[in-house]
């Protein structure tokens, strides 16, 4: 798809323990074999505004 911006994970399971949810989300993201961004989170959005 060509998307190279930041990844943000959000879950809406309020009763879920946050540490459990974060660990579960990280495990799923690792399975996707994503490449780490070379930009800071805010810098990725700044780059789009300048284009």
pTM confidence score: 0.51
**What single DSSP character describes residue 14?**
T
Cα of 22 vs its chain's centroid, Å: 11
User: Dihedrals φ, ψ of 43, to 5°?
Assistant: -65, -30
Boundaries of domain holding 35: 18-50
Nearest of 34, 48, 40, 36 to residue 1 by alpha carbon: 34
Domain membership of residue 13 (yes or no) is no
Q: Residue holding tokens 């990280």?
A: 26
- pLDDT tens for the chain, 51 residues long, are 677 777 778 877 778 788 888 888 889 888 987 777 777 777 777 765 555
Domain membership of residue 11 (yes or no) is no
User: Dihedrals φ, ψ of 22, to 5°?
Assistant: -65, -45
Domain membership of residue 8 (yes or no) is no
Domain membership of residue 4 (yes or no) is no
pLDDT of residue 51: 56
Number of domains in the chain: 1
């Amino acid at each position: 798809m060509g998307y190279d911006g930041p990844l943000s994970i959000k879950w809406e399971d309020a009763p879920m323990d946050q540490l459990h949810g974060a660990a579960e989300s990280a495990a799923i993201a690792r399975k996707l074999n994503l490449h780490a961004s070379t930009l800071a989170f805010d810098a990725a959005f700044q780059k789009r505004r300048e284009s």
